[in-house]
Amino acid sequence: IECGVSIGLQKDVPTLLEKVGGYVDAGYRRIKMKIKPGRDLELLRAVRREFPALPILADANSAYTLDDLPTLRAMDDLDLMMIEQPLHWADVREHARLQREIDTPVCLDESITSPRDAELALELGACRIVNLKPGRVGGFTNSIRIHDLCREAGVPVWCGGMLESGIGRAFNVALATLPGFTLPGDISESRRYWERDIVDPEWEMTDGTMLPLDAPGIGVVPELERIEQETVRTEVVTP
């Protein structure tokens, strides 16, 4: 599974370039940069100049409107893999209009919460890529359905992350083995977020990829003793 990494807004361009360079040296195969109005083109251009061949995507988290079309059009010159969720999550029709106006592929993230959302987006041409998060769409059944819909439409998907522990990561790695997941996802190794994960073995990256584990169940074993030590609240739900 090809691995990508997400970078938040940094205090200045030198800090951003240093952070990107560190992840490039670590082997990540795609960099996702957060952007917002007023902090977009300068940052993207700086990274593109420093790393001319690096796969980059810009994640807007719904920060723009169609009034920002000149800025979004200017990103066409930066050879981005995609612009992720540029408009409000509910504005699927406006995303379709935006995709007609720009060459850079639009990727929908928060807009896709169910197979029905995916069907509508694909029908309207609102995106050319989908970020598929199993935790957001309701689990594996809906994830597989959305994957199948996108594959039938020729729209690639990639697996997004939501700060999972090693347990959740196991599910994401398994999902990302499906054939429609053709782009690097937000599947980072354990050390990216945790001083020590709660699974054995921890998830590690080799040459920018993560290998699905050939083991029973989810592939990793939860460290129950450590989980119990770290537990601050227990709740029992009975039928």
Instruction: Give the closest residue to 186 by CA, choosing from 160, 151, 157, 153.
Output: 160
In the set 11, 32, 34, 36, the catalytic residue is 34
Query: Could you confirm whether 36 is annotated as catalytic?
Result: no
Distance, CA of 59 to CA of 57 (rounded, Å)? 6
Maximum CA extent, the chain? 59
Question: 43: which residues sit within 8 A by CB, 6+ positions away?
Answer: 9, 10, 13, 16, 33, 35
Other CB atoms within a 10 A radius of the CB of residue 37 amount to 12
Question: 46: which residues sit within 8 A by CB, 6+ positions away?
Answer: 13, 16, 17
Distance, CA of 189 to CA of 35 (rounded, Å)? 24
Distance, CA of 53 to CA of 50 (rounded, Å)? 9
Total H helices, total E strands in the chain: 9, 9
Q: What CA dihedral angle connects 79, 18, 37 and 126, to 10 degrees?
A: 40
Query: Could you confirm whether 133 is annotated as catalytic?
Result: yes
Matching residue, tokens 């597989």:
144
> Which residues form the catalytic set?
34, 133
